[in-house]
Structure 1
Amino acid sequence: MKPTLTLLGMGLAMALSGCFAARQARIDSDYSYTGNFRRYRTYEFVTGEGLAADSSKLGEAVRDAIRTRLKVQGYKSNKRRPDLLVNFRVFEGDMKFRGYLQEDIGRWVKEEKVEDEETPPDNRQGYQPQRILLAEGTLLITLIDNRTNRAVWNGYASGVTVPKGPQGELVLRRSVRSIFDQYRVFTEGYLEGSQMTEN
């Protein structure tokens, strides 16, 4: 009985410490006014260097958490011609970051706003840049419009300490969830379709 309680206590302590590490992180995001968020339905990961190409458990934990969240929001994986390319990276140390003060992306998408070259200058939203100092350890997730090759959304968690082992995977998964809480964009018609199947 005592070893079971000890293991249970250790597991709970690890889960709570991972939870606290993710909660202490600064979570924020910004988006491009040219992003046609209603059009996006599919995604694929960018391959490259660093954690994005990492086949370790930490890299796979981030990819798996992103896959899970995008699936919940109605997005499907498509290797051939995805609407969105997903890139992520973990930065060590403090860094200066340029973000933007913007209205909530959910409101922007709901009002079906999209800016392009034909949008009159008087009707453009305009960006209000802000310089942000991100604390030691930042997980940055970027969504890129595959057609235009432009970043349309950045979400980040700073102050994320990633310990080694399973606890590190837990911290990264929770950080991804917290970041995607900033991206409350479901694919068009997905919510109506899931409500119909429930009835």
Structure 2
Amino acid sequence: MTRALSTPPVVSSEVISGSQQPVLSAARDLELRPWAAADAPVFLGAYQDEQIRRWHTRRPQSEAQVRQWFDDYRQDWQSATGAHWAIARSDGEVLGRISTRRWNFDDGIAGVGYWVLPAARDAGVATCAVMALSAWALDEIGFYRLYLDHSTRNHASCRVATKSGYLLEGTMRSAAVHDDGRHDMHLHARIRDA
């Protein structure tokens, strides 16, 4: 049964359908590129970092599982439900991860998530990646609203969100479970043309 909408979709899924996931250029000679099988060791190793483990409770256990995740990421793109990129230098060195998921074409809304490796922290890498992803999602694809959330205890992620133009909209009480229990989560959003 097809659902009837009183308004047309904000974004046409045709924008994504049948296309290759792009490589996005970011400031500071960075690029956002689809994950490759050769990235599996770096991706798995990232989840040994205390800060990434603290804020990301869904963790791969093996390189085989990472490669399965990469397959799932490709499927997200093909089914127009999300996109996942490695944040990398132009020489290919992986510095982090960024994604946009939970695409809602009817309302023009998508979520954003990211992490960066320890060596890339405090250098603006996450902010550059979020800015590049946001420009692509808002200006090229046509999403109207992008949102991200993070633990209220994750001050670094709050700074990245704010520097990237994502306004703090409020606190979602006990909205996520981390290793040390439930956390309140800050909700940030960026609106096209705002």
TM range (shorter): under 0.3
TM-score in terms of structure 1 length? 0.27
TM-score in terms of structure 2 length? 0.28
Structure of larger gyration radius: 1
Structure with more contact order per residue of length (Cα contacts < 8 Å, sep ≥ 6): 1
